Amino acid sequence: MELSWSQLTVWALRPTPVTAAVTFALFAAVLVPLERLYRPFARGPARRPGLRTDLLFWAFTPLVGKAATYAAVTAVVAGLMRMTGRELDPFSGTGWGAVGRQPLWLQALEVLVLADLIFYWTHRLFHTTQMWPFHAVHHSSEHLDWVSSMRFHPVNDIVSRVFQAVPLVLLGFAPAAVVCAIPVVVTFIVVTHANVPWTWGPLRNEFVSPVYHHWHHSTEPEAVDKNFAGVFVLWDWLFGTRYLPRGRYPERYGVFDKGIPRGFWGLLSYPFLTRSSRQVEVGLRRK
C-alpha cells in the first residue's frame, strides 16, 4: 500500500506516547548492557548527575518537538504556496522536482545525504553567538550517554527539523523514502551519544561514530567547534571541521558557562533569560 504524506506524518512527525515509549525501550534494551560492558573504557558513573533531566527530555522532545515540527512545516509550505501561486500539497507525494520518479533506494539515500548536509549547516548555525543559548542546552550534560541524546531545547529541535523537512517536501521525495531514512537518522543520533569507545574501525572516516561525536561535546580546546556532521564525516572533511585523534577519548564535557541550569525547566527557560540579559557572551569559543 502506497504511503501518503499524511500517513507518514502520523507515524513519524506526530508519535504517540506509546511509540515514543517503545522506541526508548528498544534503545535501552540494546545500549544499557553495552554501556555497562564498555564503561571501564568510556568513563562515567553508572548513576550519573543529570539522568532525571535527560529522561524528562526523552519524554518531551519526541512528542512536543515533533508535533510542533508538524505544525511549522505545514505553515511554511502553506506560505510558499501563497507566495508562488503554485498548487502544492505538503502531504502529497509530489513536489516541484522529478525525484519522486527515481528508484526508492536512491531516494532514501538522497534523503539521508541531503538531510545530513542541511543538519551540518544548521548545527553550525546553532554554534554562533546568537543561536548558541538554545544549543547550549544539548551541550550542558557533563556525562554523555545514549540517554543524553534527546536533551534538545524545542527551538533547536524545531528549527533543525523544519530546515530538513521543507526541502524534502518541496523536492517531492516519496514518503516511503523518508520513512526509510528517519530510523537511520534517529539511530545515529542516539548511538553516537552512547558511552562506548566505538570508532567504526575502517569506516571511521566515512560515518560518525560515538567517539567522533563525543569529541564534538568535549570542552578540550582543540575539539571546540568540530565534528558537526550527524551521519557522514564527509561534511566535516569538506568544510575543515573534522577532528578525530587516534588512541584518545574525550574526558570533559559540558559548556563553559557554569551558570547554566541543571534542571529540566531551568534549561527550557535558559536561552530566553540569557538572550534578554546579554550578561554573558555565549558559545564554546569562550575559554
Residue 139 lies in a domain: yes
The interaxial angle of helices 17-38 and 51-60, nearest 10 deg, is 150
Between the two ends of the chain, the Cα-to-Cα distance in Å is 55
pLDDT score for 263:
94
- The H or E element that residue 158 is part of is helix 154-171
Amino acid found at 34? L
Residue 58 lies in a domain: yes
pLDDT score for 286:
46
Residue 256 lies in a domain: yes
Residue 283 lies in a domain: no
Residue 285 lies in a domain: no
Residue 287 lies in a domain: no
Residue 284 lies in a domain: no
Q: Identify how many contiguous H helices and E strands the chain contains and give both numbers.
A: 11, 0
Domain that holds residue 226: 5-277
pLDDT score for 42:
56
Count of structural domains, the chain: 1
- Tens of pLDDT along the chain (287 residues) come to 455 554 554 555 556 677 788 889 999 999 999 998 876 555 555 677 889 999 999 988 877 777 777 777 777 767 766 765 655 554 454 455 678 788 888 999 999 999 999 999 999 999 988 899 999 999 999 989 999 999 999 899 889 988 988 788 778 787 778 878 888 999 999 999 999 999 999 999 999 999 999 999 999 999 999 999 999 999 999 999 999 998 888 988 999 887 899 999 999 999 998 753 333 444 444 44
Rounded alpha-carbon distances, angstroms, from residue 250 to 39, 139, 171, 197, 229: 14, 14, 40, 10, 18
pLDDT score for 11:
53
Among 285, 240, 200, residue whose Cα is nearest residue 227 = 240
Residue 282 lies in a domain: no
What backbone torsions phi and psi does residue 28 show, to the nearest 5 degrees? Answer: -65, -40
pTM score, two decimals?
0.86
